[in-house]
Amino acid sequence: MAQVTTKIIGEGPSHLTLRVDLLSDASGELENYVILSPWDLTPVEPDPVPSFCILQAWFGMTQFDITLKSGTVVPSVLWTLTRNSSNHIDFRHFGGLVDKVAYTNPLADTDGKLTISTSGFNVLNAAGSLVLEIRKLTQVAN
């Protein structure tokens, strides 16, 4: 089984910084692997349907790409971080990458989770790290 370690390395009332470290054992790709859920946030609100806005991403991967997604049944793609590109992307210039549920009424297919999928991660010892600066946009479910 691949090793995926996620850790919130900084959190305040409206922002958080999340680090994800990945190491492959060649067992296969990650598909919609949860890296952040509403229960990871502090404080956890009753019946939360949090949404989020990704402000910045720092990353480094060998041999694989990471696709960031949100949603439940059919996760929507937010962005793909490729192995052969810049290791920092700043989305703040246009307000960030927003979980689509933030603008949906009634609430769309979501559970407030941020997931990743990989491409090329099925190679032995493929490794990478990802750091995300995220703004919280918490809503209470109806």
Phi/psi-derived region of residue 71, left when phi > 0, alpha when psi is between -120 and 50, beta in every other case: left
Place of tokens 């090793």: 3
pTM, entire model: 0.88
| Cβ neighbours around 95 below 10 Å, total | 10
pLDDT band at 140 (very low <50, low <70, confident <90, very high): very low
Q: In the predicted model, is pLDDT for residue 5 greater than 90? A: yes
Instruction: Provide the residue type at 122 as one letter.
Output: N
Q: What is the pLDDT of residues 71-101, one digit of tens each?
A: 776 788 999 999 988 799 999 999 999 876 6
HSE-CB of 124 using CA atoms within 13 angstroms = 0
Q: Enumerate residues 6+ apart whose C-beta is below 8 A from 12.
A: none
Q: In the predicted model, is pLDDT for residue 138 greater than 80? A: no
In the chain, beta strands by DSSP E: 3-11, 15-25, 33-36, 51-61, 65-70, 76-81, 88-90, 97-98, 114-119, 124-137
Q: Which CATH number fits domain 3-137: 1.10.3470, 3.40.50, 2.60.120, 1.10.10?
A: 2.60.120
Spatial distance between the Cα atoms of 118 and 21, rounded to a whole number of angstroms? 13
